[in-house]
Chain A
């Protein structure tokens, strides 16, 4: 496994692998907050980054540079995505108070699901 001369031991190689994974996941998490391809991807990648960073430490007292970056960026991505979800939630529920916006949303939902917004909200007990 230890084929790269920069690593003195197999242990260092394994740690470096996990640190790199943490950093990579954190970058994916941060980008996917703003480029929404797969729902909840920032959570998956962000939590993956945090876990990989924690596990890469082994017995060491300090995180490696990449692991620390992965930990910080992963946490930032989770926080940012949560903030975006909360704002979207409140925007939606405030938006549907405006009659014109409500009618627009209702028309789109009817085209996609065959149910108006009022039908859907009644169905889910709101």
Chain B
């Protein structure tokens, strides 16, 4: 398999001349997701039942919509990697074509993400509407919240690693059932999870630098990171199919 250094080099090559499109797409994606999260903010709810019912439902629906946009974002990077033309419109391609399978796929992924959030939600339920007499009394709440948040994030990172190529597989094999896509993603990542994790870790210094710019430079870093993920997927498929430039065989044989 190509080294992570080579994959990053291929990613930089794919981005040359395409930075405006990729960064623009990430910006639009971020704005839409931010707007969704803002509109579904339920911090004002006083009833626990409403908090759980409405809150969890909105969390789930937002995760599905976000997932659909992520497929669109992945399609832009996949097209650019193969030297094919692309545009910002591709960000919303799942809302125009292949919508049903995309929604089912992302509904399954969203369920996994919501399950990761359950520990943090349990802490919220435990301390719901509690009046804290002092800052000191809030320490157990913050401590529990921090621990459960970290556990949830760790689980989410693990899920993202295991199912890393799911968006690209869905785009490359459009007729495949969503469960089959998930299964194939797991098979494809077998033996490569560590390398993928190291590839993602290699972008941490750039993300840290991006913090100095209040997160603005992170749009470019995310474009670089996503291009590298796309090259990683291409390399996985190349290993599986040996030599074919664009996967032609169905995902069952991968």
Residues in chain A within 8 A of chain B (CB atoms): 1, 10-11, 14-15, 18, 40, 43-44, 46-48, 50-51, 54-59, 78
For window 198-213 of B, CB contacts with A under 8 Å fall at: 206, 209-210, 212-213
- Beyond A14-B16, A40-B214, A44-B213, 12 extra complex contacts between A and B, CB < 8 Å: A10-B17, A18-B16, A40-B213, A43-B213, A47-B209, A47-B217, A51-B206, A55-B220, A58-B16, A59-B12, A59-B13, A78-B209
Instruction: State the CA gap A56–B13 with chains docked (Å).
Output: 9
User: CB distance B16 to A51 under 8 Å?
Assistant: no
27 contacts between A and B (CB under 8 A): A11-B17, A14-B17, A40-B213, A43-B212, A43-B213, A44-B216, A44-B217, A46-B212, A47-B209, A47-B213, A47-B217, A48-B213, A48-B217, A51-B217, A51-B220, A51-B221, A55-B220, A55-B224, A56-B16, A57-B9, A57-B12, A58-B13, A58-B16, A59-B9, A59-B12, A59-B13, A78-B209
User: CB distance A11 to B16 under 8 Å?
Assistant: yes
Instruction: State the CA gap A104–B220 with chains docked (Å).
Output: 44
Q: Is the C-beta of B172 less than 8 angstroms from some C-beta in chain A? A: no
Q: Which B residues are CB-close (under 8 A) to A40?
A: 212-214
Q: Which B residues are CB-close (under 8 A) to A43?
A: 212-213
Pick from B12, B210, B213, B216: contact of A54, CB under 8 Å? B12
Instruction: State the CA gap A46–B212 with chains docked (Å).
Output: 10
Question: B204-236 interface mask toward A, CB cutoff 8 Å, 1 = contact, 0 = none?
Answer: 001001101110110011001000000000000
Known A-B contacts A43-B212, A44-B213, A47-B213; A55 and B10 likewise in contact (beta carbons under 8 Å): no
Question: B4-25 interface mask toward A, CB cutoff 8 Å, 1 = contact, 0 = none?
Answer: 0000011011011101000000
Q: Which A residues are CB-close (under 8 A) to B16?
A: 11, 14-15, 18, 55-56, 58
Chain A: CB-nearest residue to B206 = A51
Chain B: CB-nearest residue to A82 = B212
Pick from A47, A58, A78: contact of B12, CB under 8 Å? A58
Please name the 9 residue pairs, one residue from A and one from B, whose CB atoms are nearest each other, closest first: A43-B212, A59-B13, A14-B17, A58-B13, A47-B217, A14-B16, A59-B9, A44-B213, A47-B213
Instruction: State the CA gap A110–B217 with chains docked (Å).
Output: 37
User: CB distance A55 to B15 under 8 Å?
Assistant: yes
Pick from A11, A18, A47, A78: contact of B210, CB under 8 Å? A47
Instruction: State the CA gap A1–B17 with chains docked (Å).
Output: 10
Instruction: With both chains docked as a complex, state the minimum distance between the C-beta of B40 and any C-beta of chain A, in angstroms.
Output: 32
